[in-house]
Amino acid sequence: MEKFDFFEYSPLYKQMMILQALSEGITSHSEISLKAGIVPSLVNKYLKSFLSDELVEKVEGKYKLTNKGLIKLNYLRLAYLSEISELYKSIEVKFQDVFLKLVGKKDICIYGAGVVGKILFRLIANKEKFNVIAFLDDDRNKVGTKIEGVPVLSLETNIQADALIVASFKNVDKMCEKALRKGFRNVYSVEFLGDKLKLVWRG
């Protein structure tokens, strides 16, 4: 299960994951707790509640999903997907400027193989119309490595790209100037306007 630092799993999410585990034949409290992201003692509390609501039954000492429980699980799955869809729409709005500025620019380099660069990569890589061909970095320890299969190269590397994004909130002006001196065009820096991420054209 992927870890998110800014999102706390809700009781409904935990219910869904416990019911999901049972639907997969997982009955061990420790395994269910790992799947739901809660401690085993809480798993026991949820299971007792499910038993009372006839969402599960005990068969030979093990909890098993009932038909009523399966229906409940499907409702929870649908509600979860609906909320994910709304969250995705909200994210699209907040990053809309990034996508609009990059229209027509398929092959993209990200200058900065740190935290900001990795986050930008995940954002851009989800769009089929864009292709991140390389990370560029001045740190010799990073050059020659890969991030999610994409090579980290030196800024000195001769590489053709439709756009370069400076992925840093520090030394931005200096990094943009270096990229432009190396012959890159359509160089952008990132900044926030309110809670929306913007790309600023630097040359």
Residue-level pLDDT at 130: 87
The answer on pLDDT for 126 being more than 80 is no
pLDDT tens digits, 147-186: 999 999 999 999 999 999 999 888 899 999 999 999 999 9
The answer on pLDDT for 196 being more than 90 is no
Lookup: tokens for 61: 């000492």
Structural domains of the chain ordered from first start = 11-93 (1.10.10.10), 96-201 (3.40.50.720)
Label residue 74 by pLDDT band (50, 70, 90).
Answer: very high
pTM above 0.75, yes or no: no
Q: How many CB atoms lie within 10 A of CB 147?
A: 18
The answer to whether 155 and 181 have CB atoms below 8 angstroms apart is no
* Mean pLDDT in residue range 13-37: 89
Residue-level pLDDT at 3: 54
Residue-level pLDDT at 102: 84
Q: Which residues contact 28 (CB under 8 A, 6 or more apart)?
A: none
How far is 126 from 59, CA to CA, in rounded Å?
44
How far is 190 from 125, CA to CA, in rounded Å?
17
The answer on pLDDT for 95 being more than 80 is no
Place of tokens 């054209």: 201
Residue-level pLDDT at 94: 73
Label residue 1 by pLDDT band (50, 70, 90).
Answer: very low
Residue-level pLDDT at 144: 95
Which residue would you say has higher pLDDT here, 14 or 195? 14
Residue-level pLDDT at 7: 65
How far is 124 from 43, CA to CA, in rounded Å?
38
Which residue would you say has higher pLDDT here, 41 or 146? 146
Kindly report the average pLDDT of the chain as a whole number.
88
* % of residues, the chain, pLDDT over 70: 96
